[in-house]
Structure formats: C-alpha cells, structure tokens
Amino acid sequence: MASTPPLNIPGNAHEFSVSELSFALKKTVEETYGHVRVRGEITGYRGPHSSGHCYFGLKDDKARIDAVIWKGNFGKLRFKPEEGMEVIATGKLTTYPGSSKYQIVIEHLEPAGAGALMALLEARRKKLAAEGLFAPERKRALPFLPAVIGVVTSPTGAVIRDILHRLADRFPRHVLVWPVRVQGETSAAEIAAAIEGFNRFEPGGRIPRPDLLIVARGGGSIEDLWSFNEEIVVRAAAASAIPLISAVGHETDTTLIDFAADRRAPTPTAAAEMAVPVRADLVAEVQDRARRLMRAEARTIETARNELRGLARGLPRLADIVALPRQRFDAVSDRLGRALARAAEVKRARLHRIEGRLSIAPIERRIAELRRRKDELSARAAGAERRLVADKARRLDGMSKLLDSYSYHGVLKRGFAVVRDGAGKPMRSGAGLKSGTAIEIEFAEDRLDAVVAGGAPEKPRAVPKAKPDGPQGSLL
C-alpha cells in the first residue's frame, strides 16, 4: 500500500493583504532605487492625456518599462517626447499598486546624444516643410533702407553690441530691442512672443512699427541653439508680416528658423550688413550719377545745337521766301485800284441813264439818293481796300518773322560766324586745310576775307552793309 505524502502546512509566516503587499513593494522599490537615469526608446506615446499627464513606455531590445510625466513637469521639459525618439529619462522609480506594475515618474527628459537630436530635427524639418512653411515663394524682399529695425536677442550678450556697432558704421537707424532669453526652458516661448509682439505694433503708433526684424544669437552647441528649432518659434517666424532675418549661431550652425526666415545671415554682424547699405557708398553713387546726368545733358544740348545748325543751313533765303507773296500783293493792289475805278464808271453811267428817264424833281431826289449810295459804296470800297492791305501786310509780317526764326542770320546776331571756302560753301571742319588757303568769314554785319595761318594773309576786306530798299526799309 502506497504511503500518502505529508501536507505542507505553513508555519508562523506573516499574512499580508494585497494592499499591504503592494505598498510594501512600492516602498522597497522607491527606497532602493530612488532617482535613476534610464535610456530607451519612447513607445506608445499619444500626447498629453486630457488631465495634462503623459503616459507612454520606454523600451530597448529586451525589456519595457512604463513611464509617466505629470502635468506640472511636462510644461517645463526642454524637449517634448515623440514616438520612436531615443531619450535619457531622469526620474523616480515607483510602482502602481492598481495594476501591479512598476514605472518611472520622469522629471527630466533629453535626447540620447547628438544623433537623436539630429534625427528629431530632421523629422521636424520634413514635417514643417510639408506644410509649406519653408516654400521659396513665401520669402519676401528686405526693405532697401528700413527706418526702424527690431532686434530679438539677449540684451546682455555681445550680439546686440555687434549689431548696433555695425549699423552705426554703415547707416545709423532707429533700433528697437525686445529682450529675451536665447537659451533655457522658456526661451522658445519668449522668442515667439517677441516676433508676434513686434508684428502687433500699429503703424504710426506711439512706438514705431519696425520695417525689418533680426532674430539673433551667438554660437553654441546644438543643445544651446535648440530653442530656435522649436515649432512655436519657426511658426512665428513664418507668420511674421515684417520681413525677418535669422542670425543664429555661426556660419556652420543651422536651425529651423533659418528655413522659415526671409533671409539667413551667417552671423549677427552679417545680419546688420544685410539690413542697411553703406551710407558712404550711396553718397558716392548719387554723386557719380549726378555727374553722368550733367554730361548727358551737355551732350544732348550740343547734339540739338548741331542739328539746329544743320537745319538752318538747309533753309532758303528770306528774300526768296517773301518775293512771291510780295509780287502777288502788288498785283492784287493794282487790280484793286483799277476795279474800283471801273466800278465807279459803271455806276456813273448807270446813273446818267436813269437821270434821262426821270423828271426834274424826282431826278434830283434820285440823284441825291444815288450820290448817297455812291458815297457809301466809295466808303465801303475804301474800307475794304484798307482791310485787304492790312491783312496782306500782317501775313507778310508773320512770314517775315517766321523766316527770321529759321534763318541762320539770327544765330550770327548772337555772336557766331560762318566760315566758307573759296567756292563759297560753308565749312564744318578745318581738317585738311593747307596754309595759304583763302577763306571767307561771315559775321552778322559784314564779311571778311582771310587766309589760313602759315601763309601770307591778305588784308581783310570788309563787305559793305546792304542799304535799305527805298523809304519803307528792307523787309529782311
């Protein structure tokens, strides 16, 4: 018959309740580990809960641990958690008795090395680029000479001194400085608020609205410059209605605000150089353009003068222009006198014929009437003759003045002279003349014969001034 195994009856072991055991384990874990630093990859992150707390996990290739960030600590984190991001979490290890799990309450979170930061930066850059925040068509041209420049930077660093000094050297401008922290937990919010604050200034207000913004910071590590990679800063720069220059770090440093800004400067000093031109260069350029304008004006006047001289040489003589109108005027005057005489004879013959047919008394009245009409006709004829002569005289005077305005004699009266060769043709240049060549010089009042220097010049011969034609004077 088989023997029955003995029963294992517990002795004097203490009996725990579930709650007692859970809290005992919680106390043991917290006292044993306290604050720890855990490296792992974020998994299961869905953003803050409606309560403001964040729940997710940290894992590696062999294990997983739950993590929680309380609402009060989440707003202070410099780097916000993202799915798949490798981080180093610092916090207190504890348990959650409600589900018999242990977890880490995170107080501080940072990327696990530069590689993680660069991966996060690249992912954020692609996200914002897909939204169109870095599109080239969003970029605006900088004002040529801004009246007011707004600077967002630390008020105590060397950056603001470098910018002010460079502006003073190139072209002094009115500068408004919005002091912010450029590093630390609250720096990103302050920078974004400064950009938005400058944009809220009203044009013509008590504080002038800047025409240009410069967001500047000195060099540093990627962690030091991380505030300028935050979405809040990048979105504020992209939404700025005022043209913006990004001048963060040194030439080799690149932050996301550089892609959203209208222009990127390699250094804060270079940003000041982009903002304003060199005043001395502008003054020199204005003076150079003024000299060029004066030379162009002088060339234009000289060209017009030469053209006028050419046109004057092509005009006919005044006597030739007025000769035909004068002849027509004389012919009309002669015909007018003879026509008046013939008209008077016709009227007189008609009067005689009428007198023969009338009795004495009516004849006398008729004669008186005809005489009156004859006197009226004579007066009207005389008036018509005077008006015709006056009209012809005015037209002749107008044509004479028009000819004078086109004649080269007007140019001679202003002190110029015309040089002609031996054949009487005007000369435009003295090139090719030989010594001893005879030439003629015409002035306003007379003409002189001359010989080209190098030969024995002949004695100048004065050309007598033309005498007036008749008692009425010359029409020329």
* Secondary structure of 32-53 in HEC code, one letter for each residue: HHCEEEEEEEEECCCCCCCCCC
Identify the pLDDT of residue 474: 43
The fourth-level CATH superfamily of domain 20-112 is Nucleic acid-binding proteins (2.40.50.140)
Q: What is the pLDDT of residues 140-158, one digit of tens each?
A: 999 999 999 999 999 988 8
Whether 127 shows a pLDDT value over 50: the answer reads: yes
CA Rg value for the chain: 55
Identify the pLDDT of residue 370: 86
348 vs 198, more confident: 198
The three-class DSSP label of residue 247 is strand
Whether 353 shows a pLDDT value over 90: the answer reads: no
Q: What CATH code would you report for 144-277?
A: 3.40.50.261
Reported as a pLDDT band with limits 50, 70 and 90, residue 475 is very low
231 vs 459, more confident: 231
Can you state the angle between helices 158-170 and 268-275, rounded to 10 degrees? Answer: 30
Instruction: Convert 68-84 to b/e letters by CB count within 10 Å (16 or more is b).
Output: bbeeebbeebbbbbeee
Which string of DSSP letters, residue by residue, matches 348-379? HHHHHHHHHHS-HHHHHHHHHHHHHHHHHHHH
355 vs 283, more confident: 283
Q: Which residue has tokens 């004879």? A: 345
**Burial class of residue 211 in the structure, from the number of CB atoms within 10 Å of its CB (0-12 exposed, 13-18 middle, 19+ buried):** buried
pTM of the predicted model over 0.85 = no
> Between the ranges 43-57, 67-81, 394-408, where is the mean pLDDT highest?
43-57
- Domains of the chain, residue spans: 20-112, 144-277, 318-406, 408-476
Q: Are 392 and 329 in contact (CB under 8 A)?
A: yes
- In the chain, the N- to C-terminal Cα span, in Å, equals 171
Reported as a pLDDT band with limits 50, 70 and 90, residue 470 is very low
Q: What is the mean pLDDT of residues 358-364?
A: 64
Identify the pLDDT of residue 296: 94
Residue 476 Cα to chain centre, angstroms: 58
Q: What is the mean pLDDT of residues 107-125?
A: 78
The three-class DSSP label of residue 168 is helix
113 vs 100, more confident: 100
> Between the ranges 174-183, 400-409, 444-453, where is the mean pLDDT highest?
174-183
Q: Would you state the structure tokens that stand for residue 394, as one six-digit string?
A: 């005015």
Q: What is the mean pLDDT of residues 117-145?
A: 89
Q: What percent of the chain stands above pLDDT 90?
A: 30
